[in-house]
Chains A and B, each alone.
Chain A
């Protein structure tokens, strides 16, 4: 809470699931030449005339802007424990939210039914944020379609029965047990989500978005000489059933076994200020926490971010470029449109060492007089959109990872991460290293585990002195929390050296 924003990867935290979502199948099927939006309106049981009436009610007290966000989401999960696929869950969530803006003030209300009466009630509640009394003008809607669908599915999850999913858990379980005699317990889960979104706003934009998601997770407990250790592995994408394959089973099984086995060899390092080499991939958590949240423009327009006065200033080495990207196909953080009608896009937040853009929602974009960057996202129809990251990563540099490690006499190589957090204004950020290695005399030596690393955003960014060419996105189940809302994201990074961070450990 209170500007402490965090990121986590979930082991077996199952988000929810579906029972045969019989109501819809795949992107809403269009009858004849019906548009996607017309199909969506018919799916939600609303007409254009309804939407106009609700919009008029939302603006009747003088709001400058209003939007309506309809959501129908199907969650399904099935899980394995003690060798048996014997638990499943499904959830259906349905509703619509009305947002009214008056200057930078927000009124918001949502309802779980979409009768005209219910929607009008929500609209009139949200409308109360405004007081100029100048009612909005009548308007008409123009359908927007994305230039590119970043998450087109081959086989929608609605077409897949539970029975079809079960072997993927069983095979994963068997593979993990077959890889190492020390495995004592395995848990695995497969979760899929399908959201149908219908959005319209007072600028006349209306669109339909079909959002698939899959998360495939495994955790294990291993025993060695009476000691127990556990770890997990997961992948998540905006993909349909085509995501599942024997290859992904193999990848997850080997990863979870390797990452649990290494814990037995690992020690706690001696704590203190040390150079830290961030391994390629999940190290993007450093960007997410050290700068990503602090670049979210709501904190900057309110002048509460430590980077509020740094726009267009040099903040780090000129070889560094950092991107927040909603356009990576099938990425967990991809958005065709954000949740306030802005197209998904790729935003350079640091270009050649200069802070070039904050991450905007409509309110902050208006405040700064720039175009919105497509970062206005919300957890569901229950929440207002706020600036959120998508896929946040650093572009490749020009050296090899081995060259970076060889420069470090005494330091830490951070490899696997579970969670992080930041204080936006003070700049202190942390990430938890599940495992990594000591670096001694330019070489990786003993594994280390379970330590927190803390730094300060602007200092840590300025202290990135070497960046390797092995750029990589981590496709784990990254979930970002802010203002009580969870949002799927990803992060990525090439291997990089931060010359000084404070490493947890024993004395």
Chain B
């Protein structure tokens, strides 16, 4: 919770910085709190509670730029901290590209409340919170003789920030979150003890799924029994909505000005070109009321807007913040997406699987990485073999390897099952002709 005193402190820090050598500055004051209750076999294992508050400053001094942050918020220490920061920044080389955004681009207020904050956050009793975690555990405990351990948890928190920019931006944002999860470990073959989990989360307590979490975690681990690796080869890859966002993440990283300016991207000079399958349409949709990830302004105070990123496979935008735009001599955009929506298809995961004759459903990624210059990737996986539209064999200890441009060009089908509580709404995805290595 940002208090009036917090705001006054941020304003004081801004004034102090400007009076002591900064020509411009950004100040952000944050205040976060959270509680969590973790249960093991429905008995209390850990309780944790915390709240924290800190101040971050971007200082623009004589054409130079430095970042400073501290959670020591008494004025005497802050004065010394800011003065030291100004002094340190003066040692740096000048950087003509470090300027504040054009104030015309700032969010100026006036839009409806995004409703990301639940006033109930401080009113829920610890007993009720523990009861939710216990109920999740009890859905699994004793339901199968092979169960070794059931861990469940309830956690919640609030995040708030207050931002000032010296050329005319003031913005405040706050949100709450609630989460319940369960992880179940069972005795598998030999010494193996496979585990899996499920969770529910929401911005609002009343919308938090409070049942079904433990049962789903148990179902997810039981279906893994008998995992083995299958023959290496090309398969149709189906990625479930728990993991589909991981296939998109490196593609988005390649669109940032910081990557492009450093020639560290596999999507340089591709704007308005068709680079992937025409089935891919991806929108940044930041103004949906009550939706995780929604926001009216980005980290620079710049107003967000609905904007296509890929439209039928054509790249429609990069993400140029003020600094990289100026450095590259292009017009700035938003500094990064807020809430991503991949335009869904009309089938759920089962419907997609039914259309696959020889494939692998990926339900978990294990390690792996990608090359930011080439787009080449390789990840460990677990999941299921698909034969003639049916899951016939749990698989594990395999790798999937390829290139993100080739992969996204082979996008064949899209599900309608994105997880609604996330800021990235990426449904199940189907890709053709993907290399898996196993036996």
A95 to B229, CA, bound (A): 48
A302 to B81, CA, bound (A): 46
How would residues 477 to 507 of chain A score, 1 for a CB under 8 Å from any chain B CB and 0 otherwise? 0000000000000000000000000111111
Instruction: State whether A271 touches B71 (Cβ < 8 A).
Output: no
B201 within 8 A of A: no
Q: A303-B149, A304-B185 are in contact. Are A428 and B47 (CB under 8 A)?
A: no
How many chain-A residues does the 8 Å CB contact rule pick out? 97
Q: A20-B88, A271-B435, A432-B378 are in contact. Are A304 and B149 (CB under 8 A)?
A: yes
Residues facing B in A237-291 (CB within 8 A) are 268, 271-273, 289
Q: Which residues of chain A are within 8 angstroms of B64 by Cβ–Cβ distance? A: 86
Instruction: State whether B371 touches A430 (Cβ < 8 A).
Output: no
A87 to B258, CA, bound (A): 14
Instruction: State whether B401 touches A428 (Cβ < 8 A).
Output: no
Instruction: State whether B367 touches A454 (Cβ < 8 A).
Output: yes
Instruction: State whether A110 touches B148 (Cβ < 8 A).
Output: no
A49 within 8 A of B: no
Q: A432-B367, A451-B401 are in contact. Are A92 and B92 (CB under 8 A)?
A: no
Report which of B197, B374, B436 forms a contact with A450, defined as CB distance below 8 A: B374
Instruction: State whether A432 touches B368 (Cβ < 8 A).
Output: yes
Q: Which residue of A lies closest to B369 (CB)?
A: A432
Q: Which residues of chain A are within 8 angstroms of B377 by Cβ–Cβ distance? A: 450
B380 within 8 A of A: yes
A187 to B372, CA, bound (A): 15
How would residues 16 to 34 of chain A score, 1 for a CB under 8 Å from any chain B CB and 0 otherwise? 1001101100000000000
Question: Could you say which of A87, A310, A453 has the most chain B C-beta atoms within 10 Å of its C-beta?
Answer: A87
Q: Which residues of chain A are within 8 angstroms of B45 by Cβ–Cβ distance? A: 104-106
Instruction: State whether B89 touches A88 (Cβ < 8 A).
Output: yes
Instruction: State whether B91 touches A163 (Cβ < 8 A).
Output: yes
B167 within 8 A of A: no
Instruction: State whether B44 touches A129 (Cβ < 8 A).
Output: yes
Instruction: State whether A271 touches B88 (Cβ < 8 A).
Output: no
How many chain-B residues does the 8 Å CB contact rule pick out? 83
A506 to B380, CA, bound (A): 14
Q: Which residues of chain A are within 8 angstroms of B437 by Cβ–Cβ distance? A: 271-272, 502-505, 507
Instruction: State whether A419 touches B369 (Cβ < 8 A).
Output: yes
Shortest CB-to-CB span from A418 to chain B, Å, is 5
Q: A310-B191, A428-B382 are in contact. Are A228 and B438 (CB under 8 A)?
A: no
Instruction: State whether A272 touches B438 (Cβ < 8 A).
Output: yes
A242 to B386, CA, bound (A): 58
Q: A105-B46, A108-B47, A421-B367 are in contact. Are A502 and B438 (CB under 8 A)?
A: yes
A351 within 8 A of B: no
Shortest CB-to-CB span from B196 to chain A, Å, is 7
Q: Which residue of A lies closest to B74 (CB)?
A: A113
Instruction: State whether B47 touches A86 (Cβ < 8 A).
Output: no
Instruction: State whether A229 touches B373 (Cβ < 8 A).
Output: yes
Q: A90-B88, A452-B379 are in contact. Are A19 and B191 (CB under 8 A)?
A: no
Report which of B46, B232, B367 forms a contact with A384, defined as CB distance below 8 A: B46
B211 within 8 A of A: no
Shortest CB-to-CB span from A113 to chain B, Å, is 9
B234 within 8 A of A: yes
Q: A272-B232, A432-B378 are in contact. Are A425 and B94 (CB under 8 A)?
A: no
Shortest CB-to-CB span from B378 to chain A, Å, is 4
A454 to B374, CA, bound (A): 22
Q: Which residues of chain A are within 8 angstroms of B397 by Cβ–Cβ distance? A: 428, 454-456, 502
A226 to B183, CA, bound (A): 48
Q: Which one, A1-9, A322-330, A371-379, A467-475, is touching chain B?
A: A1-9
A84 within 8 A of B: yes
Q: A92-B81, A303-B193 are in contact. Are A505 and B401 (CB under 8 A)?
A: yes
A465 within 8 A of B: no
B87 within 8 A of A: yes
B20 within 8 A of A: no
A432 to B377, CA, bound (A): 10
Residues facing A in B27-72 (CB within 8 A) are 40, 43-50, 52-54, 64-72
Instruction: State whether B366 touches A304 (Cβ < 8 A).
Output: no
B263 within 8 A of A: yes
Q: Which residues of chain B are within 8 angstroms of A1 by Cβ–Cβ distance? A: 197
A308 to B195, CA, bound (A): 14
Q: A430-B366, A432-B378 are in contact. Are A507 and B234 (CB under 8 A)?
A: yes
A185 within 8 A of B: yes
A62 within 8 A of B: no
Q: Which residues of chain B are within 8 angstroms of A104 by Cβ–Cβ distance? A: 45
Q: Which residue of B lies closest to A381 (CB)?
A: B50
A221 within 8 A of B: yes
Q: A2-B197, A304-B148 are in contact. Are A450 and B371 (CB under 8 A)?
A: yes
Q: Which residue of A lies closest to B63 (CB)?
A: A86
A104 to B46, CA, bound (A): 9
B8 within 8 A of A: no
Shortest CB-to-CB span from A274 to chain B, Å, is 9
Question: Could you say which of A22, A229, A422, A504 has the most chain B C-beta atoms within 10 Å of its C-beta?
Answer: A504
Instruction: State whether A228 touches B399 (Cβ < 8 A).
Output: no
Instruction: State whether A84 touches B95 (Cβ < 8 A).
Output: yes
Instruction: State whether A382 touches B50 (Cβ < 8 A).
Output: yes
Shortest CB-to-CB span from B85 to chain A, Å, is 4
Q: Which residues of chain B are within 8 angstroms of A449 by Cβ–Cβ distance? A: 371, 376
A272 to B437, CA, bound (A): 5
Instruction: State whether A504 touches B264 (Cβ < 8 A).
Output: no
Q: Which residue of B lies closest to A273 (CB)?
A: B439
Residues facing B in A143-168 (CB within 8 A) are 161-163, 166
Shortest CB-to-CB span from A204 to chain B, Å, is 25
Residues facing B in A161-187 (CB within 8 A) are 161-163, 166, 184-185, 187
Q: Which residues of chain B are within 8 angstroms of A428 by Cβ–Cβ distance? A: 366, 380, 382, 396-397
Report which of A3, A184, A453 forms a contact with B399, defined as CB distance below 8 A: A453
Instruction: State whether A268 touches B87 (Cβ < 8 A).
Output: no
Residues facing B in A90-115 (CB within 8 A) are 90-95, 104-112
Q: Which residues of B contact A (CB under 8 A)?
A: 40, 43-50, 52-54, 64-72, 77, 80-81, 84-85, 87-89, 91-95, 98, 148-149, 183, 185, 188, 191-197, 224, 227, 229, 232-234, 262-264, 327, 366-374, 376-380, 382, 396-401, 435-439
Complex A-B, nearest 7 residue pairs according to Cβ-Cβ distance, in ascending order: A271-B437, A430-B367, A504-B399, A421-B367, A425-B193, A89-B67, A430-B380
User: Can you name 23 A-B residue pairings with CB atoms under 8 Å?
Assistant: A3-B185, A4-B366, A22-B84, A85-B93, A86-B98, A91-B70, A95-B52, A106-B46, A185-B262, A185-B263, A221-B264, A227-B374, A304-B149, A306-B192, A421-B380, A424-B195, A432-B367, A450-B370, A452-B380, A502-B437, A503-B399, A503-B437, A504-B378
Q: Which residues of A contact B (CB under 8 A)?
A: 1-4, 6, 16, 19-20, 22-23, 78, 81-82, 84-95, 104-112, 125-126, 128-129, 161-163, 166, 184-185, 187, 221, 223, 227-230, 268, 271-273, 289, 302-310, 382, 384, 418-432, 449-456, 458, 502-507
Sample of 5 further A-B pairs with CB below 8 A, known A90-B68, A221-B264, A507-B234: A6-B367, A92-B70, A166-B91, A384-B48, A430-B379
